[in-house]
A and B are shown apart, each in its own frame.
Chain A
Amino acid sequence: MIQFQKRILSNGLRLLIHEDHTLPVAVLNVLYDVGSRDEDPERTGFAHLFEHLMFGGSINIPSYDEPLQRVGGENNAFTSNDLTNYYIQIPSINLETAFWLESDRMLDLAFSEKSLEVQRNVVVEEFKQRYLNQPYGDAWLHLRPLVYKVHPYRWATIGKDISHIENVKMENVVDFFHKHYNPLNAILVVSGDIDPENVLELSEKWFGSIPSGRKYHRSLPIEPVQAESRKEILEADVPLDALYMAFPMMGKEDPDFYTADLLSDLLGKGNSSRLYQNLVKTNPLFTEIHSFLSSDRDPGMFVLEGKLIEGIKPETGEKAIWEELQKLVAERVEEKELTKVKNKLESTLVYGEMNLLDKSINLAYFELLGDAGKINSELDEYLKIGTDDIQKVAKNLFRTEKKNVLYYIAK
């Protein structure tokens, strides 16, 4: 059970406070309700590049990192399709430094040309390091546009193409900041070894006077229901063939989301899962195989990916996976198998509660979804799922006409 208080400052900034006195450490986490789905299709990768620019100095503070390191703090940030999250972990005696830094960059940035130029280069190198200079690294850059035809999930957070990042202009940066970075679009979480009264005072002092800004209302194109299966064959200089399969699925807020999550666990998470036991061990076709969810707010993807044993045709691998999926459609899973994935989830959730930073980020995320309190009912949501629910969701997901397949073939 994670206890917390919620307040809304007069400028609309949502504030969550959570006490945990295990260690003399505090976390200050700011989540902005903007991700790569909010980008202009001609300027993809922008939200993530912008995250880098948030470290290039703010209106009153030329360097963000230096004063934080000086008081013993550490920070980082990440961008996803749906959100951008910034966090600081700091000895609790120096918590005010975190307020000072984080509020100033919500107020306004320094917008330095040098920072823009350097971070464009850094992000291009990140693009290469993670996606281009790795075998299979660009698979997702192909899978997304196969599954999505109109919704912005069709490009990856890093961007569709390096040139989009190279062409970013300062005016784009300024516009983006004013559109998305303000108290109305943000959630502040302060947690750890803190005094709630003191946190309230500090929040008013540092964040309270920031102008509200305008609430950003998104209206994103809705992905049409997929009516026939799709396949793409990609040849590249890789040592082995790989197979990717994706089915469109419900968004994070749909009641069936948790069921799909358990379905993916029992199908392809870990070495006792069906895919691993049947297709790696008993009847070896793959050397590795996994399934997982993209876990997006808008309708997401149920993904399966595997590397084929040398000499096994992708068609053979695809057929074997398909048969595993159809077993879940045709037959109910045994109660024991479902209990297994529920037990695993329980220990994962208990483990997550032992980490202050994880708790803080999760609180912010559940608040973004509408109610931070739901963090405490997550386990119950999973536990009430029955074997009939699993079968029902499998039936809805694993349909021939909703299949998207990518063969990644060794040249």
Chain B
Amino acid sequence: MLDRITPPDFKLIGRTNLFRPESYTLSNSIPLFVFNLNQAELIKLEWVFKIQDWDPTYPLDTISAAKLMDDGTRTRTSASIIEEIDFYGSYFQIHVQADTISLELFSLRKYLSQTLPIIRDVLTEANFPESEIEVFALNNVQRLQVESQKVQKLGSKLYYASLFGNSHRYGYAETIKDYKALERNRILETYQETFYSGNCTLIASGKISQEDIKTLEDVFGKEAWGIKPNKRPSLSKPGMEYPKPGYRFQEMQAASQSAIKIGKTLVLKSHPDFPYLQILNTVLGGYFGSRLMSNIREDKGYTYGIGSSVQSLQEAGFFTISTEVKAESTQDTLKEIQKEVMLLQTELISDQELGLVKNFIRGSFLGSLENAFSYADKFKGVYFHGLDYGYYDRLFEAIDGASPKMLRELAGKYWDWNSFHTIIVGKE
């Protein structure tokens, strides 16, 4: 008779070795990192640029320059650019993140030499037609109008503004007025100051031959391109403020759910406590079986989901608890969240629970590696923070070494309830 009650034996999950890139330097000094995994006939290229300057007086110049650069060059219209890229079955997207802008291209290998010149054109010859700026502004204005009715979106905006202040790009909340004030010459200037070879890092992943690398050198690496700005980039703004923690409530009469955001700024990824905070956070709200999910969803049924995260940008780290809950249960949810945070400061996590969390993190790290692209993501996760693969060594050391006592101390050190910002959008 089969024993269905006793779980099958299981093994501890070992350390996953990360596939590391081959690194090259193109003739014009662009660093190129190659993850060649020889799987499908697909190649992913990412051109990553650091955000050079950000001016709160003209807060949308950077994002507009990035998002509009593929809407017309000296020789191609917006329509012909996307038509050509699509014709070769490629997917092209421009992502504006907090610290970097990346152009991302998925191309079938057989069409690489056709698609690359289009990207080169976009990177060096964009001319920002007024008509495209108008369409862009209008579409974004309407997007903002719709978002103004979403508790989750409003909550995020208020939260980041509370954490980082409206005069830092991490905290700035874009407005309709900003989109109406866009000017072509400023966008063009920002484009020139951001997209030049000296500010570019190239990452290639997928199936990549030496010939493909030569093609990259031919199209992007021969000579310096773009205009290097004269003024020094001022990445760290002296004005970066961390406003006082507090409680902010925005009412939405019609809301049947309230969005809740709770959190604070925290250490950077380079800080020795960071990997331990990842583990502590997983216990609180980092997986399906976490304490917040078990309590607020699986016991009380107040929400479809609740989670927490510990993240790091280049200039600041932060900790966030986030959920949307039944409007009538907003206060009760706050109370329960506070209770769970306090418990981690006062009580030891059981060995049983900590063991589970550690194994879950190991498994989920393994599960996050699907293909060459995921290895490239792991690389970006350290490289652009000024770190190296030693970070992952420290992460796994923390997983092996974290004890209930260390984590309780950590919760006490970083998670003082009075240091948290609390944002509610919906009903109080």
Q: Which residues of A contact B (CB under 8 A)?
A: 22-25, 59-61, 65-67, 69-74, 89-91, 93-94, 96-97, 99-100, 103-104, 107, 117-126, 128-130, 132-136, 205-206, 209, 237-240, 270-272, 277, 280-282, 284, 287-288, 307, 309-310, 336, 339-340, 342-347, 350-351, 353-356
Do A125 and B303 touch across chains, with their CB atoms under 8 A apart?
yes
Known: A22-B371, A91-B13. A240 touches B146 (CB 8 A): yes
A103 partner residues in chain B, CB cutoff 8 A? 4
Partner of A97, one of B8, B82, B149, B326: B8
A353 partner residues in chain B, CB cutoff 8 A? 40
Partner of A284, one of B42, B87, B138, B146: B138
Task: Identify which of B164-172, B225-233, B293-301 touches chain A.
Answer: B293-301
* 27 A/B residue pairs, CB under 8 Å, sorted by A: A23-B369, A23-B370, A24-B366, A61-B4, A66-B356, A69-B363, A70-B355, A70-B359, A70-B360, A71-B363, A72-B364, A97-B8, A100-B7, A118-B301, A121-B326, A125-B304, A128-B256, A239-B145, A239-B146, A240-B142, A240-B145, A270-B86, A277-B79, A281-B79, A307-B146, A351-B42, A356-B370
Partner of B88, one of A61, A70, A93, A343: A343
Give complex CA distance A351, B91 in Å.
11
User: Knowing that A287-B142, A345-B89, A354-B370 are A-B contacts, what are 19 other residue pairs whose CB atoms are under 8 Å apart, sorted by A's residue number?
Assistant: A23-B366, A73-B363, A90-B363, A93-B11, A122-B304, A125-B324, A135-B150, A240-B145, A272-B85, A281-B78, A282-B79, A310-B142, A342-B89, A346-B108, A350-B108, A351-B42, A351-B106, A354-B39, A354-B40
Digitize B1-26: 1 where CB-to-A-CB distance is under 8 Å, 0 elsewhere: 01011011111010000000000000
Complex: chain A residue closest to B108, CB-CB: A347
Do B86 and A272 touch across chains, with their CB atoms under 8 A apart?
yes
Chain B residues touching A, range: 35 or more
A94 partner residues in chain B, CB cutoff 8 A? 10-11, 13
Do A60 and B256 touch across chains, with their CB atoms under 8 A apart?
no
B255 beta carbon closer than 8 Å to chain A: yes
Chain A nearest CB from B337 CB (Å) reads: 16
Which label, helix, strand, loop or mixed, suits the secondary structure of the A interface? helix
Partner of B288, one of A65, A130, A205, A272: A65
Q: How many inter-chain contacts with C-beta < 8 Å in the A-B complex?
A: 209
Considering the complex, which residues of chain B in the window 325-381 have a beta carbon less than 8 Å from any beta carbon of chain A? 325-326, 355-357, 359-360, 362-364, 366-367, 369-371, 373
Do A91 and B139 touch across chains, with their CB atoms under 8 A apart?
no
Q: Which residues of B contact A (CB under 8 A)?
A: 2, 4-5, 7-11, 13, 39-42, 78-79, 82-83, 85-91, 106-108, 111, 135, 138-139, 142-143, 145-146, 148-151, 254-257, 287-289, 297-304, 324-326, 355-357, 359-360, 362-364, 366-367, 369-371, 373
Give complex CA distance A110, B367 in Å.
29
Do B146 and A135 touch across chains, with their CB atoms under 8 A apart?
yes
Do B303 and A69 touch across chains, with their CB atoms under 8 A apart?
no
Do A122 and B359 touch across chains, with their CB atoms under 8 A apart?
no
A71 partner residues in chain B, CB cutoff 8 A? 10, 359, 363
Do B146 and A347 touch across chains, with their CB atoms under 8 A apart?
no
Chain B nearest CB from A288 CB (Å) reads: 7
Complex: chain B residue closest to A340, CB-CB: B87
Complex: chain A residue closest to B362, CB-CB: A72
Known: A74-B367, A343-B89. A69 touches B79 (CB 8 A): no
Partner of B360, one of A72, A135, A237, A340: A72
Do A72 and B363 touch across chains, with their CB atoms under 8 A apart?
yes
Do A118 and B299 touch across chains, with their CB atoms under 8 A apart?
yes
Do A133 and B86 touch across chains, with their CB atoms under 8 A apart?
no
Do A351 and B40 touch across chains, with their CB atoms under 8 A apart?
yes
Q: Which 4 A-B pairs have the closest CB atoms?
A: A72-B363, A121-B301, A343-B89, A239-B145
Give complex CA distance A174, B140 in Å.
49
Complex: chain A residue closest to B44, CB-CB: A351
Do B88 and A355 touch across chains, with their CB atoms under 8 A apart?
no
B7 partner residues in chain A, CB cutoff 8 A? 67, 97, 100
Give complex CA distance A74, B370 in Å.
14
Do A70 and B366 touch across chains, with their CB atoms under 8 A apart?
no
Give complex CA distance A67, B289 in Å.
10
Do A60 and B5 touch across chains, with their CB atoms under 8 A apart?
yes
B362 partner residues in chain A, CB cutoff 8 A? 72, 91
Do B10 and A343 touch across chains, with their CB atoms under 8 A apart?
no
Partner of B86, one of A209, A237, A344, A350: A344
Known: A126-B304, A239-B148. A280 touches B371 (CB 8 A): no
Chain B nearest CB from A320 CB (Å) reads: 16
Do A69 and B289 touch across chains, with their CB atoms under 8 A apart?
yes
Known: A74-B364, A284-B135, A350-B40. A307 touches B88 (CB 8 A): no
Chain B nearest CB from A110 CB (Å) reads: 13
Give complex CA distance A358, B130 in Å.
42
Give complex CA distance A65, B297 in Å.
14
B256 partner residues in chain A, CB cutoff 8 A? 128, 132-133
Chain B nearest CB from A103 CB (Å) reads: 8
A288 partner residues in chain B, CB cutoff 8 A? 139
A282 partner residues in chain B, CB cutoff 8 A? 79
Give complex CA distance A347, B44 in Å.
12
Chain A nearest CB from B138 CB (Å) reads: 6
Complex: chain B residue closest to A205, CB-CB: B2
Chain B nearest CB from A113 CB (Å) reads: 13
B91 partner residues in chain A, CB cutoff 8 A? 344, 347
Do A355 and B142 touch across chains, with their CB atoms under 8 A apart?
no
Complex: chain A residue closest to B89, CB-CB: A343
Do B360 and A122 touch across chains, with their CB atoms under 8 A apart?
no
Chain A nearest CB from B176 CB (Å) reads: 11
Chain B nearest CB from A343 CB (Å) reads: 3
Chain A nearest CB from B112 CB (Å) reads: 12
B82 partner residues in chain A, CB cutoff 8 A? 270-272
Give complex CA distance A120, B298 in Å.
11
Give complex CA distance A310, B146 in Å.
12
Complex: chain B residue closest to A276, CB-CB: B82
Give complex CA distance A260, B300 in Å.
45
Give complex CA distance A92, B304 in Å.
30
Complex: chain B residue closest to A94, CB-CB: B10
Best-buried of B107, B135, B355, B363 by chain A (most CB within 10 Å) = B363
Do A287 and B139 touch across chains, with their CB atoms under 8 A apart?
yes
Known: A69-B360, A238-B149. A122 touches B257 (CB 8 A): no
Chain A nearest CB from B397 CB (Å) reads: 18
B106 partner residues in chain A, CB cutoff 8 A? 347, 351
A281 partner residues in chain B, CB cutoff 8 A? 78-79, 135
Do A100 and B149 touch across chains, with their CB atoms under 8 A apart?
no
Chain A nearest CB from B294 CB (Å) reads: 9
A344 partner residues in chain B, CB cutoff 8 A? 86, 89, 91
Give complex CA distance A343, B111 in Å.
10
A307 partner residues in chain B, CB cutoff 8 A? 142, 146
Complex: chain B residue closest to A310, CB-CB: B142
Known: A119-B301, A239-B146. A354 touches B371 (CB 8 A): yes
